[in-house]
Structure 1
Amino acid sequence: MPEYTVLTLIGIVAVVVWELAWARTGIFSSARYWLTMAIVFFFQIWVDGWLTKLSAPIVMYEPTEFSGIRFPWDIPIEDFGFGFAMITFTIICWIKFGHREAR
């Protein structure tokens, strides 16, 4: 299996397991979290689509290192999994370690 695909899947699973088994911030049941992810993915589609378009790519991927599935337009599907893992991990860390409410 291609390296980028494997690492993306590991990242997704690791973040979800970390949230559900240890951090337990409750973000997966939060409408604010899912709205945040919708906004992130909306902008990711526009920016990533422009960067990876096959007609004039700015960022190119080694074909043997990802699944080859591109959706929508020419975006490697792994980019969405990577984005999910990165943003979710950051939000979990912010809630768990960085964000302290005024008392």
Structure 2
Amino acid sequence: MMPWGYTVPAVAAVLAVIAAELFVVRTGLFRRGTYWVTMVIVVAFQIPVDGWLTKLSAPIVRYSPDGITGWRFPWDIPVEDFLFGYALVTAVLLLWERGKSRKDSVGKDTA
């Protein structure tokens, strides 16, 4: 059975942000190499920080075992943390790109 506490919202967040890009915002973000480089950089920093916060030997952040799948990789990081991180960073970048394109279109109208 899939845990409802953290796993389902994490998966839903990823699906929502992907759907927002593909069907609503349509910035082309997923086709840009710079986006994927950004995601690699985010994960590179997330792993040591999140790993330290969630290490099972002395956790600073604890999760209810009923709220997560229990899948942890690497260094005891719950996979749900990566899902939420992906959704959060991607949503911010989509909003940034959307705001930038709106600003550009307003500037063209007044020129």
Task: Find the residue that maps to 1:61 and give its secondary structure.
Answer: coil
Do structure 1's residue 56 and structure 2's residue 33 form an aligned pair? no
Corresponding residue to 1:41 among 40, 43, 55:
43
Deviation, 1:97, is 1.9
Q: Which runs of 5+ in 1 are unaligned?
A: none
Once residues 68 and 98 of structure 1 are traced to their aligned partners in structure 2, the CA distance between those partners, rounded to angstroms, is 39
* Amino acid paired to 1:8: A
Once residues 78 and 87 of structure 2 are traced to their aligned partners in structure 1, the CA distance between those partners, rounded to angstroms, is 15
Aligned residue pair count: 103
Once residues 56 and 85 of structure 2 are traced to their aligned partners in structure 1, the CA distance between those partners, rounded to angstroms, is 20
Q: Which runs of 5+ in 2 are unaligned?
A: none
TM-score (norm 2): 0.88
* Amino acid paired to 2:72: R
Deviation, 1:98, is 4.9
Once residues 5 and 98 of structure 1 are traced to their aligned partners in structure 2, the CA distance between those partners, rounded to angstroms, is 32
Aligned alpha-carbon RMSD (Å): 1.4
Corresponding residue to 2:84 among 57, 82, 89:
82
